[in-house]
Amino acid sequence: MGAVLARDFANLEQEQLQLLCLDTKNQVIKRQVVFQGTLNSCPAQPREIIKVALTTPTARVVIAHNHPSGDVTPSKKDVEFTKRLQLACELMGLPLLDSFIIGVNDYFSFAEQGVLNCNTDS
């Protein structure tokens, strides 16, 4: 999924956060830009992401945002936000499967790097 997202985010000059709503077979049923930011920030809020997800018959979610600089290293704020969102999603019974940071030719997956504890049993 990261490679597909990297291609889609390739030419964006501002940070953007997208929500991908998945069905029970992890197929994307909705993809929506939830926040549009600036060159180096995207002030996202978990409640807005969850609000969009709850209006869709989704089983689980994935989020992705880009770093126009090309550096996919997560900032401290990226890590804190992802952990807050995961907790909020868990409270709503909506698993957050992954959070991607997309660069120019690369991506960072919080799940692949063990930052998220993914549980799809919900």
* pLDDT confidence of residue 57: 94
Q: Tell me: the pLDDT tens digits for 9-51?
A: 877 888 899 999 999 999 999 999 999 877 666 678 899 999 9
- Whole-Å CA distances, 40 to 16, 22, 24, 118: 10, 28, 34, 28
The vertex-62 CA angle with 56 and 68, nearest 5°, equals 120
User: What pLDDT was estimated at residue 82?
Assistant: 95
- Pairing relationship of beta strands 96-102 and 60-66 according to DSSP bridges: parallel
Q: Is the pLDDT of residue 119 over 60?
A: no
**pLDDT tens per residue, range 55-87:** 999 999 999 999 988 899 999 999 999 999 999
70: left (phi over 0), alpha (psi -120 to 50) or beta: left
Are the C-beta atoms of residues 105 and 69 closer than 8 Å to each other?
no
What radius of gyration do the chain's Cα atoms show? Answer: 13
Q: How far apart are CA 30 and CA 12, in angstroms?
A: 20
Report pLDDT digits (tens) over 94-107: 999 999 999 888 89
The model's pTM: 0.89
pLDDT of amino acid 122 = 42
